[in-house]
Amino acid sequence: MPANPSPSPPGTPDGYMSDNSLPDEHNANGTPSPDAAENERSGARPNGTKTRPENALFSFQEERTLQSIESMKLAHGGHDPIAVTPHTTPRARANTVRGGAPPGLELTPMITEKVEPTTEEHPIMPSVQIGSYTSIGGMMEKAAPKEKGSEEVEEEEQETFITPELLSLYESFSRCLDLRDKYMGSSLQRLGDNPEHYDGHFTPLPSGLCDVNGLRPDAKLPSDYPLHSPTEPGPGPPAEGSNLPHPWHLYPKPPPPHWHWHPKEGPSGMNGAPPEEEEFDFAKCEIPEEHEWTFEMDDKGVYQVYGNDEKQKPLCRVPDIREYFIDLDALLTVMTDGPAKSFAFRRLRYLSSKWTMYTLLNEYTETADMKRVPHRDFYNLRKVDTHVHHSSSMNQKHLLRFIKSKMKRTPNDVVIFRDGRELTLAQVFESLNLTAYDLSIDTLDMHAHQDTFHRFDKFNLKYNPIGESRLREIFMKTDNYIKGRYLAELTKELMTDLEQSKYQNCEWRISIYGRSPDEWDKLAKWVINNKLYSHNVRWLIQVPRLYDIYKGSGLMSNFQQILENLFRPLYEVTKNPRTHPELHVFLQRVVGIDSVDDESKPERRIYRKYPYPRVWDTKQNPPYSYWLYYIYANLCALNQWRKVRGFNTFVLRPHCGEAGDPDHLASAFLLAHSISHGILLRKVPVLQYLFYLKQIGLAMSPLSNNALFLTYERNPFPEYFKTGLNVSLSTDDPLQFHFTKEPLLEEYSVAAHIYKFSQASLAELARNSVVQSGFEMQIKRHWIGHQWYLPGALGNDINKTNVPNIRLQYRHDTLMEELGMLAQGRKARVVGKEQDGPIHPVTADTVAAKAMSMPSSGAGGRR
Ligand SMILES: [Zn+2]
């Protein structure tokens, strides 16, 4: 171990004086004084401090690497860490400097000279100063001695050395990215597509520049786009203009910027809610009138919207199933192509190593940046649980307490109708041979730790308290004999808990099965009548893929009936909200559609060509790719219509890549806004790389995976994070997996322990969760910054997110490097002769695509 102790250990006032004298040498603007600049250019440190690793944490090898990296950095000048962050308090300043980086790790990259020849490559490179970070690539470039004109030489070299193989790789990856863009475009899932994005402050961007999580990283921001500096206290007055959509009205209105929790029912005679708090009142909701357009399901099983005059021609273009399977096949071809796999694998390895390098260099700077932010820390960062099922969102202790209190207080509630007679709660427990006193967490037996690994069937049974479906029916269903009253009460308690915590938010999944057309109205009435509104909660609708069960029980004859039950009410309420007023109001809090079930069920291929839904009448469940397409396709016209009407649109955020066939992930890549799980991406480098390039959100739940499919230490979550995938942490099923009242914090806590995440990484994860979530623009703006949708440091407000600017800038630069590489491949000249196309592997979906691309076949199958 290195044994050269620091003469003035960091942390002492002495160390501060001698080692970190930079602040003295910089003026208040953060620009180096002439003297300091002189020193930096000549490579010498002020006060003669030498560069030496003095931290015993590093082994000899690491130390040597650090030393050489650092000497490279030293060649590039200095920086004043204090001047970077606005809103610095004297106390925070003192903190930072005292805890500053050990000498040798204090980074000194450029500020003024940093503007590399990257201006064109990074069209939206912010003018915001980004702290001590300089891209590693740039750093290496700088470090290498360069002669005059070397840049041209370099460019020439890049062109010269592109082999046809590499070029075709670049092209196939670019084609895959374009395919996704096409599907996102026609389903309106991107920034600016949803009327709720227009909150009066959001200035619209051309839709070609937007992606699902904000501005495209490679887009050029229009030069006249108004930029809002994070140092300003708030955004200016609402943007005006006749062509701007009407600002989205959030009802009940969100709490004021600074608020404290108050109990809803205050002490006797007093209304506890503060005056500014608006309580939900259905009577106050405005229900718009009927719209003139009409809708109808076409013979391919997709709802289409028609104008008045021409009934024959649908108003919206929806990619049909044939087109989808051909595109999917193109993607699968790339996915299974040998060279593409190796290429993606190498890029991913590179990205991960680059991250390691970045942290080694910048960890101390990041910590210093975070310490300078007053007030903000991990606990008061906004976090969204991006993936949690409502019926298991309480923990067991909570459910147990609730059941016991019901048995004690209202044993005579009539709760269920079984075998021709009504039963009270007391009678139900009598029939189970149980008393309130007997009940414990152990008898409840809902924890999934021991016996559910690779047994999703067993896991599903864990939803039944004490293994009794009767209790699940009574306590955990929205549509039962007591009209979901118990579950509503439980939900209210959960909402109160969330509101008390203030910074934790949820996107609850709740089921619509597609068994009957009145499910939507029942669910909406349950929410509205019980006033299940909370500032901390939004809803997603989960659709279980259970066609085979309904078919088996004779409930329906073909797959199209499910689609009709799922979507007809949504089209009806969009045409005329007055036909389903509750549903119209409830949908304002619904952000998207999810698709759920056990992915590990085998999918047998029974058709050469997939038939349309009206002729899908076998007992087999359609495969994942088919289910997902039909949910997607029916959202397309719906979203376009809703946008025209000024109603909020929905995104597709399915469960995907938890188990089963990795091909599911290919479908999601094309169709989904973001996904839950995605652990199987670790086995498919091409898709993982594509998910990275498109920054598709992954709501991951390592604790849930640990109980079901993948042990905690093998979970790819930390690796994805290093690589730069857009990951967030979520709980999935607190009832089965978590022990505490704050399951989301538990999830963060375990991840921080096992994967050793730094505070900056936790902050980045929290920020990711907000970005991925479906909370309204107005809310996100308040939580993570006024222009959070701009990439890199430009969109960051460290005072709200606590994520160091250098971190986001690193992520952005790295992504730009990859995108730039692929784009450059397109432009490059081909050297060498043409290659044969890749060989098509035979997969289930290739067969389908082949069959469907045959002329005159259509996809009608057996007609
Ligand atoms: Zn889940």
Contact 793, 806 (CB under 8 A): yes
Distance 597 CA to ligand 1 centre (A): 9
What is the 735 CA–ligand 1 centroid distance (Å)? 12
With a cut of 80, say whether residue 48 has pLDDT above it. no
Q: Which amino acid is at 109?
A: P
Helical H segments across 388-484, by residue range: 396-409, 425-431, 441-444, 456-461, 469-475
Distance 500 CA to ligand 1 centre (A): 25
Q: In this predicted model, which residue has the larger pLDDT, 248 or 506?
A: 506
- Of 495, 455, 537, 478, the closest CA to residue 773 belongs to 537
What 8-state DSSP symbol labels residue 314?
A: B
Distance, CA of 335 to CA of 685 (rounded, Å):
8
Distance from residue 99's CA to the centre of ligand 1 (Å): 41
Beta-carbon neighbour count of residue 755 at 10 Å? 17
pLDDT, tens digit, for every residue of 715-737?
Answer: 999 999 999 999 999 999 999 99
Among residues 716, 734, 810, 728, the alpha carbon closest in space to that of 763 is found at: 728
Beta strand segments in 5-145, E: none
Q: Is the pLDDT of residue 673 over 70?
A: yes
Q: What confidence tier does 843 reach under pLDDT thresholds 50, 70, 90? A: low
Determine the pLDDT at residue 683: 95
User: Which pLDDT value is given to residue 840?
Assistant: 44
The CB density around residue 2, as the number of other CB atoms within 10 Å, is 15
What is the predicted pLDDT for the residue at 813? 95
What's the CA-to-centroid distance between 598 and ligand 1, angstroms?
10
- 688 C-alpha to center of ligand 1: Å? 20
Q: How far is the CA of 93 from the centre of ligand 1 (A)?
A: 43
Q: What is the average per-residue pLDDT within 129-148?
A: 43
| Nearest residue to 291 via CA among 524, 572, 570 | 572
Distance of CA 452 from the midpoint of ligand 1 (Å): 15
How big is the CA angle at 525 (ends 524 and 526), to the nearest 5 degrees? 90
Catalytic member of 389, 664, 677, 812 = 677
Q: What's residue 79's pLDDT?
A: 40
Query: Hunting for tokens 């000498």 — which residue is that?
Result: 103
Residues of the chain with CATH 3.20.20.140: 321-395+478-821
Tell which wins on pLDDT, 396 or 236: 396
- Would the pLDDT of 9 be above 60? no
What type of residue is 309? D
Which tokens in the block code for residue 803?
């994520």
DSSP letter string over 828-839? SPP-S---PPPP
Cα(512) to centroid(ligand 1), Å: 15
User: What local confidence, expressed as pLDDT, does residue 605 receive?
Assistant: 75
131 has a pLDDT exceeding 50:
no
Task: Tell me the C-alpha distance between 767 and 769, whole Å.
Answer: 5
CA of 730 to the centre of ligand 1 (A): 9
Smallest CA-to-CA distance from 185 within 161, 168, 210 is with: 210
Q: Residue 254 in 3-state DSSP?
A: coil
**Has 677 been annotated as catalytic?**
yes
pLDDT band, residue 425 (cuts 50/70/90):
very high
Query: How much is the mean pLDDT over the chain?
Result: 79
* pLDDT at position 856 over 70: no
Tokens of 320: 């049909």
Please give the pLDDT value at position 224: 86
Compute the distance from residue 655 Cα to the ligand 1 centre, in Å. 7
Q: Please, what is the Cα angle at 328 between 325 and 334, to 5 degrees?
A: 145
Report how far apart, in Å, the C-alpha atoms of 203 and of each of 130, 189, 423, 632 are.
24, 18, 58, 28
Distance of alpha carbon 597 from alpha carbon 258, whole angstroms: 40
Of 376 and 228, more confident: 376
Token duo for residue 753: 């322990």
Residue 816 has pLDDT above 60, yes or no: yes
- In the reported structure, the alpha carbon of residue 654 is separated from the centroid of ligand 1 by a whole-number distance in angstroms of 9
pLDDT in tens, 56-111: 343 444 444 444 444 444 434 334 333 334 444 455 444 433 333 333 333 334 33
Report which of 449, 495, 493 is spatially closest to residue 739, judged by C-alpha positions: 449
- Closest of 341, 380, 310 to residue 173, by C-alpha: 341
Give pLDDT, residue 298. 92
Question: Which backbone phi and psi does 305 adopt, to 5 degrees?
Answer: -110, 135
Q: pLDDT per residue over 347-393, tens digit each?
A: 999 999 999 999 999 999 999 999 999 888 999 999 999 999 999 99
DSSP-assigned states of every residue in 191-202:
TTTSGGG-SSSP
Q: Give the up-direction half-sphere exposure of residue 57: CA atoms within 13 A in the CB hemisphere.
A: 5
- Bridge partner list, 592: 540, 651
| Cα 734 to ligand 1 centroid, rounded to whole Å | 10
In one-letter notation, the amino acid at residue 700 is M
Taking the centre of ligand 1 as the mean of its atom positions, its distance from the CA of residue 745, in whole angstroms, is 17
Distance 694 CA to ligand 1 centre (A): 23
- CA 74 to ligand 1 centroid distance, Å: 48
Task: Give the confidence band of 524 by pLDDT, cuts at 50, 70, 90.
Answer: very high
d(Cα 494, Cα 485) in Å, to the nearest integer?
A: 14
* pTM for this predicted structure: 0.79
Confidence of residue 163 (pLDDT cuts 50, 70, 90): confident
**Comparison of pLDDT for 35 and 711, the residue scoring more:** 711
Q: Which CATH superfamily is domain 321-395+478-821 in?
A: Metal-dependent hydrolases (3.20.20.140)
% pLDDT > 70, the chain = 73
Taking the centre of ligand 1 as the mean of its atom positions, its distance from the CA of residue 600, in whole angstroms, is: 14
Kindly list the distances between the CA atom of residue 538 and the CA atoms of 366, 522, 581, 710, in Å, as whole numbers in the listed order. 33, 18, 19, 29
Res 757 pLDDT > 90: yes
CA of 231 to the centre of ligand 1 (A): 39
Using 50, 70 and 90 to split pLDDT, how confident is the model at 43? very low
**pLDDT recorded at residue 238:** 54
Contact present, 319 and 183 (Cβ < 8 Å): yes
Ligand 1 centroid to residue 732 C-alpha, Å: 5
Show Cβ contacts of residue 422 under 8 Å, excluding neighbours closer than 6 positions.
Answer: 414, 416, 481
Q: How confident is the model at residue 341 (pLDDT cuts 50, 70, 90)?
A: very high
Strands (E), 485-626: 504-511, 537-544, 590-596
For residue 226, the model assigns a pLDDT of 85
pLDDT of residue 762: 96
Beta-sheet pairing, 651-652 with 590-596? parallel
